[in-house]
Amino acid sequence: MMANLQLAVKSEYFDAMIRGEKTEEYRLCNDYWNKRIMFREYDRLIITKGYPKRDDSSRRIDVPYDGYEVKTITHPHFGDKPVKVFAIKVNISTEYQSAQHKVKNVQSD
C-alpha cells in the first residue's frame, strides 16, 4: 500500500487548480518538507480546500502523484526574497474538471 501526499491549500488556490490554471503547489525546502517530499514514493496526491470533513469530495482533489521539481521562486506567501521550493506537480485532467463542475452545479441548485 503506497502512501498519499496530502496538502491543504487556500480556497483561491484550490479553485485555480480545478480550473487548470494552477499546475504546481509550492512547499518550502526546509527540514519539515524535505522529510516528506525528498526520497519518498507516493501513489496519490490529495489536495484539500482547507480541512474538509472526510466525506466532502467537493473540497478534495485526488490525482496520481507526479513528483516535483526544485525551483527558486519569489512569492508573497514566502516573503520578498527568492526561496527554494518543491514545486509539486498538480496534473488535473479535463474529465476531472468537468466532473467537479457537475458536482458544484448539483450542489448550488
Domain boundaries, the chain: 3-97
Alpha helices in the chain (DSSP H): 11-18, 31-37, 94-108
- What is the C-alpha to C-alpha distance for residues 22 and 61, in angstroms, rounded to an integer? 13
Helix 94-108 vs helix 11-18: crossing angle, to nearest 10? 120
Q: Hunting for cell 490529495 — which residue is that?
A: 46
Percent of the chain with pLDDT over 70: 84
Instruction: Could you please state the CATH topology (level 3) that the domain comprising 3-97 is classified under.
Output: 2.30.130
- What is the C-alpha to C-alpha distance for residues 66 and 50, in angstroms, rounded to an integer? 22
Q: Give the model confidence (pLDDT) of 58-96 as tens digits.
A: 999 999 999 999 999 999 989 999 999 999 999 887 666
Q: pTM for the full model?
A: 0.82
